[in-house]
Amino acid sequence: MSDALPPAPADAMPDARVYVCHPEGWTATVKQTSERMYCYQKNPGEDYFHLIVAGEIYLEFGDEKYCLRCALRRGDATQERLYWQHRRKGPLPPA
C-alpha cells in the first residue's frame, strides 16, 4: 500500500516547465548530497548567498550554480514555452 497521493488531472496542474534561454554551456542537475552548496546569486534585499538543498534542481554554468528562481530572475531561464518565437534578436542585456 502506497502513501502517495493520486496524480492530479493534467488540466488542474500548472505548467511548471523551465527553459534555458541560451542552452549552450548550461547543465541542469538535481542536488544529491547534503554537502553545503550556495546559489551564485543573492536574493534582492539580502546580503548573503542562499543554500541549494538536497533534491533541488539547479542550473550550472561552469563553476556558477543558480537555483531555478534566481536563473529565472536573471533571465537565464524562462517559463515562456514559446520564448524562441518571441525573443529579441541581438545580445542579451547585462544581468
pLDDT 10s digits, 20-44: 999 999 999 999 999 999 999 999 9
Are 29 and 58 spatial neighbours (Cβ–Cβ below 8 Å)?
A: yes
What pLDDT is attached to residue 82? 82
What pLDDT is attached to residue 28? 97
Which residues make beta-bridge pairs with 6? none
What pLDDT is attached to residue 36? 96
With CA atoms as reference, report the closest residue to 70 among 54, 91, 49, 90: 49
Q: Which residue has the cell 538543498?
A: 53
Whole-prediction pTM: 0.74
Helical H runs in the chain? 68-74, 83-86
Task: Using the predicted structure, report yes or no on whether residue 95 has a pLDDT greater than 60.
Answer: no
Q: Kindly state the average pLDDT of the residues 51-71.
A: 97
What pLDDT is attached to residue 1? 53
